Amino acid sequence: MPTVEMTQHLYRFFPQLKNQTITVPAGSVAEILNAVNEIAPGFTDYVLDEHGALRRHVNLSINDTIVIDRKTLSDRVQEDGTVYIFQALSGG
């Protein structure tokens, strides 16, 4: 099953995810995030806007590749894939 890793900043709001190995069923990025939201209700409100698109200052990659579809999150995550969620760094 794919693994989900994320910036530790999100642990402040979802402490139940801290120090956990988060594994969820393979699927689209949207399905992956919804699965995380099942573990930590409200999680998608932090990384997605109200239309289900990645927030402007959030990045998400599958392994080391930034997702292409930020709007509907249709990129597929393979069984051995890792999803990384992190801030879109812009300096400062």
Partner 1 sequence: MTKMILLGSRKGTVIFDRINGNWRPRPITHAGIPVCYAARDPRDGTLWASLDHGHWGPKLSRSRDGGTNWEDVTSVKYPKGARYIVKYLPTPDFDPEAPASQPEYADATVLKIWNIAFGNANQPGRLYAGTIPGGLFVSDDVGESWELNRPLWNHESRGGDLFAGDATSENRWFGTPASVDNGVFEPGIHSIILDPRDAHHMLVAVSTAGVIETTDGGQTWASRNRGMTNDYSPDPEAEWVHDPHFVTSCPAQPDHLWQQNHCGVFYSADGAKSWKKVSRPDVGVHFGFPVAVDAKDGRTAWVVPAQADSARMAIDGGLSVARTSDGGQTWQSFRSGLPQENAYDIVLRHGLDIAGECLCFGSTTGNVYLSEDRGETWQCLANNLPPIYSVRFG
Q: Which residues bind partner 1 (CB under 8 A)?
A: 9-10, 13, 42, 45-47, 49-51, 53, 55, 57-58, 87-88
SS3 42: coil
Distance in Å, CB of 92 to partner 1, minimum? 10
Instruction: Give percent helix, percent strand, percent coil of the chain, each to the nearest 5.
Output: 25, 25, 45
Distance in Å, CB of 78 to partner 1, minimum? 27
Distance in Å, CB of 26 to partner 1, minimum? 26
Q: Which is nearer to partner 1, 58 or 83 (CB)?
A: 58
For the chain, what is the radius of gyration of the CA atoms?
A: 12
Per-residue DSSP letter, 52: S
